[in-house]
């Protein structure tokens, strides 16, 4: 019985690590996008989960272009 429990705990730990790595990748791409906008003297004003677009290559793009303003 303990071997099944150990396997279950190992799988749960693996899922948690993979989820944390996925969140880190999304945050990294979002921060790159925000840095690009700021270098271009633009702000987004509506950054939220619904405005994150996933590309076929697995990268993230910031959506809702009409909300960007020039500084």
Q: Over its length of 71 residues, how does the chain's per-residue pLDDT go in tens digits?
A: 557 677 888 888 888 888 888 889 889 988 998 899 899 998 887 788 888 888 888 788 888 755 555 55
Q: Would 69 be classed as within a structural domain?
A: yes
CB 5 within 8 A of CB 32: no
Could you list the residue range(s) of the whole structural domain that residue 32 is in?
Answer: 25-71
Distance of CA 49 to the CA centre of its chain: 9
**Total number of domains in the chain:** 1
Residue 4 lies in a domain: no
Say whether 29 is catalytic: no
In a domain, 33, yes or no: yes
Q: Is residue 71 part of a domain?
A: yes
Residue 47 domain-assigned (yes or no) = yes
**Residue among 6, 29, 46, 56 flagged as catalytic:** 46
């Amino acid at each position: 019985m303990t071997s099944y429990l150990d396997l279950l705990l190992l799988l749960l730990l693996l899922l948690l690590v993979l989820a944390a790595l996925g969140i880190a990748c999304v945050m990294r791409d979002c921060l790159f996008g925000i840095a690009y906008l700021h270098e271009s003297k633009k702000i987004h004003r509506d950054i939220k989960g619904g405005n994150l677009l996933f590309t076929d290559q697995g990268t993230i793009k910031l959506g809702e272009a009409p909300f960007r303003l020039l500084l």
